[in-house]
Structure 1
Amino acid sequence: MDRKKHRIMMVSDFFYPNFGGVENHIYYLSQCLLKLGHKVVVVTHAYGNRSGVRYMTCGLKVYYVPWRPFVMQNSFPTLFPSLPIIRTILIRERITVVHGHQAFSTLCHEALMHSRTMGYRVVFTDHSLYGFSDAGSIHMNKVLQFTLADVSQAICVSHTSKENTVLRSGLPPEKVFVIPNVVDTAMFKPAVVQPSRSEIVIVVISRLVYRKGADLLVEVIPDVCRLHPNNLFERPQHSQGVCTLLSDDNWNCSSLTEAFCIAILEAASCGLLTVSTRVGGVPEVLPDDMIILAEPDPGDMVLAIERAISMLPKVDPQVMHHRMRELYNWHDVAKRTEIVYDHALKCPNQNLLERVSRYLYCGVWAGKLFFLVMIVDFLFWRLLELWQPAEDIEEMPDLTLPHISNKETLQETK
């Protein structure tokens, strides 16, 4: 029996041409969903002169709405003024499911809020871990609690991330699915001929920020170089990342917090033995024989790197690459996400009072404020319905493209 075909709107401030794990996730997931026969459009903010509607591979339609990034590629929070354009896109594309990505995305939160006001089913994917004590985390957790109070389903990239999201938002655990990030193994392959040289190259690809453990590296690198003078550490630019991974021996991750860390998958796909801190969802990423875990302590990390160096002669990069192809596959992720959409559409319809009453449980004062925000949003939506009825908004025909094989755009599958 044919599965129900969905019409999905992916929403996030983070998308191409910006570079990162969330951006890659949205793009590749959208491509696979298109190949499964679903309709997918992406909504993000403008990037430089990239504004308006653009088309990408396989007819993926992207709305670059004319808002500029405010801070860290996030659009400025407008709350209600974003409703008209979100409503127009939803109606024009005949959307059935709205899928927001990343807790730090302003556009994601606003789109999910407006979509629920209009009665659409919404799904949220959390890509990060947050704490509970610092001012920024407290603020973000309250925002997340507001957004997820009326969400249909949620997705986390690891079981650790699921526990974190449930604790931060109060979302029932049965509403949260765990679907890991995936790497495009076609882009990350070992070198056909491994170079013979006397030195061992250890590569680190990460942002030099506290969360990524940059201060740990300052202590680890001198100790490793003193114990093994033939070691060479590298930190390539992003544009050189793939080329460097193809020619190196060992990859090091020193993060202090990670929900998943897709860079570990990229390194393993290139046949590199990985040393990483045992934090967040990292222990769930790879089997024990493909990664050496250490506590976020310089001494323990040095010992882990020494162990990895001793294991290098037994590592076959080609075998590791083929194992990664078996373990992680974008088409499998798309099919699992498809199931989440099916669950979302099965959620029962509720009237306005039943839905907005959920916000009252978000806190003594915050609950009342959230309740008021949703009532105002509902009234604004009804006003828009009177000013411009849905039937006056032109629906866009679906773009039909000739079939493109998976090998041209997505990772290889057996």
Structure 2
Amino acid sequence: MDEQLKHRILMVSDFFYPNFGGVENHIYYLSQCLLKLGHKVVVMTHAYGKRSGVRYMTGGLKVYYVPWKPFLMQNTLPTFYGTLPITRTILIREKISLVHGHQAFSTLCHEVLMHARTMGYKVVFTDHSLYGFADAGSIHMNKVLQFTLADVTRAICVSHTSKENTVLRSGLPPEKVFVIPNAVDTAVFKPAPERLSYDEIVIVVISRLVYRKGADLLVEVIPEVCRLYPNVRFLVGGDGPKRVRLEEMREKHSLQDRVEMLGAVPHAKFFDRSILHSNLGGCELWIVNSQYTCGRCPRGMDTEISFLCLVLPEDMIVLAKPDPVDMVQAIQKAISMLPEIDPQNMHLRMKKLYSWHDVAKRTEIVYDRALRCPNHNLLERLSRYLICGALAGKLFCLVMIIDFLLWHLLQLLQPAADIERVPDIILPQGQHGEESGDLLAHSISRLQILRRSLI
């Protein structure tokens, strides 16, 4: 490994820019901070429309948009072994030392982690969401997660509740799972200097409009809140299959002028217009971000089944049961607290609680521990899959044996020595992000030369 680089990390997920969401933000900001710490970071995701091949982002972050098209909800079609050749090439060309996969719903993440373990790389997995145990989708997803995490080196969850959920779903030993919360970009979210007016209260709901995010609760909550408060309006951000129900509710109760459906939009379009944030689904990244919303989100309001209480201080939240009546009462309580809020003070408090630089340093510790773990041969690894179930365990072992044989076949057809290594572009620490504009401008000609050998 180059002495100037601490770790060479490959971030993998189906969810990355230009798609927009919590996982995408997490990967981007974490990667930028890791670059500042002196690591090499490369992102691997599928192609988005015409965005294919190798692209460079702020700070010299390299992104491989592999030529796989999304199949369902920005996920690629499961192929098991179809991604092995390109994964092997990227790992060797970039001289990767560790692979970090994100999100249990990402097909690409599961496949690349499987190939990386077959090739002997250390892998880390971050689980970003909570899932159930009863519905058909969760049952199948939990079995896939059990397969992936059976041989994962280390895992990261964004809260203690998420850790308990992941351990129960996957059977992963708790000592392998670390808790590292999400954070916010304090340079983007700042309080507004003017004094807020409460003549009109805007309640912002920002979430993927799906069942598990609580979108169905909105259908009953919104009409009742509008009836109780004539000065309340709703901004509903996000898209999904439940959007149709919300639009039907708006038509039924004639609330077109009080309920605005914005679809998937950038941060600023919400946060410049919000006073109260109501997230009915429990996505703590959006909740924490909302506290920076120009100081206009004095209370996060969430259901008791989520882990918001682990993200925000008690005096910043109002919890409710996942019941429309209880949630309406919680909104009433939150609205009554509005005059007591000091946006500047809230911003300063949240700024101290969550920082991407802190997240990156804690993630760096997980990487260090993962790389110190001993390597295991194929038989030792297969023993971990066997205990995943009487039938599933044997099936998992068969999948891994075939993957192992295909990898050795690729080794014969294209030896690793024949794969060209990519030269590293190392930016001095402290010269990334906004501070690196001049340095990147001087490096652009070199990037163009390298690009021809990368694509």
Corresponding letter in the other structure for 1:387 = L
Corresponding residue for residue 376 of structure 2: 350
> How far, CA to CA, are the matches of 2:77 and 2:266 in structure 1?
33
Q: Shift in Å at residue 195 of structure 1?
A: 4.1
Conserved 8 A contact 2:16-2:23:
yes
Corresponding residue for residue 198 of structure 1: 199
Corresponding residue for residue 211 of structure 1: 212
Secondary structure of the equivalent of 2:272? helix
Query: Which among 381, 390, 395 is matched to residue 407 of structure 2?
Result: 381
Corresponding residue for residue 10 of structure 2: 9
Q: Shift in Å at residue 387 of structure 1?
A: 1.5
Secondary structure of the equivalent of 1:362? coil
Provide closer, same or farther for how the CA distance between residues 110 and 225 of structure 1 changes in structure 2, counting only shifts above 3 A.
Answer: same
Q: How does 1:31-50 map to 2 (within 5 A)?
A: 31-50=32-51
Corresponding residue for residue 326 of structure 2: 300
Whether 1:338 and 2:361 are equivalent positions in the alignment is: no
Conserved 8 A contact 2:35-2:432:
no
Q: Shift in Å at residue 346 of structure 1?
A: 1.0
Secondary structure of the equivalent of 2:191? coil
Corresponding letter in the other structure for 2:23 = V
Conserved 8 A contact 1:185-1:266:
no
Q: Shift in Å at residue 122 of structure 1?
A: 0.3
Corresponding residue for residue 226 of structure 1: 227
Provide closer, same or farther for how the CA distance between residues 127 and 70 of structure 1 changes in structure 2, counting only shifts above 3 A.
Answer: same
Conserved 8 A contact 1:195-1:247:
no
Q: Shift in Å at residue 402 of structure 1?
A: 6.1
> How far, CA to CA, are the matches of 2:339 and 2:196 in structure 1?
13
Q: Which runs of 5+ in 2 are unaligned?
A: 238-261, 437-455
Conserved 8 A contact 1:189-1:246:
no
Give the TM-score normalised by structure 1. 0.94
Secondary structure of the equivalent of 2:291? helix
Corresponding residue for residue 281 of structure 1: 307
Corresponding residue for residue 261 of structure 1: 284
Corresponding residue for residue 138 of structure 2: 137
> How far, CA to CA, are the matches of 2:408 and 2:201 in structure 1?
65
Q: Deviations over 1:314-333 (max 9, x none)?
A: 10111111111100000000
Corresponding residue for residue 426 of structure 2: 400
Greater shift in the superposed pair: 197-206 or 135-144: 197-206
Cα RMSD after superposing both structures: 1.9
Query: Which among 242, 251, 270 is matched to residue 268 of structure 2?
Result: 242
Conserved 8 A contact 1:54-1:62:
yes
Provide closer, same or farther for how the CA distance between residues 168 and 409 of structure 1 changes in structure 2, counting only shifts above 3 A.
Answer: farther
Q: Shift in Å at residue 310 of structure 1?
A: 1.6
Secondary structure of the equivalent of 2:100? strand
Corresponding residue for residue 23 of structure 1: 24
> How far, CA to CA, are the matches of 1:262 and 1:122 in structure 2?
24
Greater shift in the superposed pair: 360-369 or 400-409: 400-409
Corresponding residue for residue 171 of structure 1: 172
> How far, CA to CA, are the matches of 1:55 and 1:108 in structure 2?
21
> How far, CA to CA, are the matches of 1:385 and 1:240 in structure 2?
44
Give identity over the alignment, percent. Answer: 70
> How far, CA to CA, are the matches of 1:159 and 1:3 in structure 2?
35
Corresponding residue for residue 443 of structure 2: none
Structure 1 runs of 4+ aligned residues shifted over 6 Å read: none
> How far, CA to CA, are the matches of 2:384 and 2:274 in structure 1?
53
Q: Which runs of 5+ in 1 are unaligned?
A: none
Corresponding letter in the other structure for 1:370 = F
Q: Shift in Å at residue 206 of structure 1?
A: 2.4
Q: Deviations over 1:279-327 (max 9, x none)?
A: 2322211001111111111121121111112211110111111111100
Provide closer, same or farther for how the CA distance between residues 108 and 249 of structure 1 changes in structure 2, counting only shifts above 3 A.
Answer: same
Corresponding residue for residue 393 of structure 2: 367
Greater shift in the superposed pair: 294-303 or 150-159: 294-303
Q: Deviations over 1:39-72 (max 9, x none)?
A: 0000011111111111111110111111111111
Conserved 8 A contact 2:93-2:419:
yes
Corresponding letter in the other structure for 1:94 = K
Q: Deviations over 1:178-233 (max 9, x none)?
A: 11111212212222213435222222222332222222222222322333322222
> How far, CA to CA, are the matches of 1:262 and 1:91 in structure 2?
34
Provide closer, same or farther for how the CA distance between residues 3 and 403 of structure 1 changes in structure 2, counting only shifts above 3 A.
Answer: closer
> How far, CA to CA, are the matches of 1:241 and 1:25 in structure 2?
14
Secondary structure of the equivalent of 2:183? coil
Conserved 8 A contact 1:191-1:247:
no
Conserved 8 A contact 2:280-2:303:
yes
> How far, CA to CA, are the matches of 2:177 and 2:56 in structure 1?
32
Greater shift in the superposed pair: 362-371 or 261-270: 261-270
Corresponding residue for residue 123 of structure 1: 124
Secondary structure of the equivalent of 1:376? helix
Corresponding residue for residue 184 of structure 2: 183
Corresponding letter in the other structure for 1:308 = A
Conserved 8 A contact 2:38-2:429:
no
Whether 1:99 and 2:118 are equivalent positions in the alignment is: no
Conserved 8 A contact 1:275-1:308:
yes
> How far, CA to CA, are the matches of 1:331 and 1:100 in structure 2?
20
Q: Deviations over 1:123-149 (max 9, x none)?
A: 000111111122111111111111111
> How far, CA to CA, are the matches of 1:263 and 1:55 in structure 2?
26
Secondary structure of the equivalent of 1:289? helix
Greater shift in the superposed pair: 299-308 or 329-338: 299-308
> How far, CA to CA, are the matches of 2:83 and 2:432 in structure 1?
36
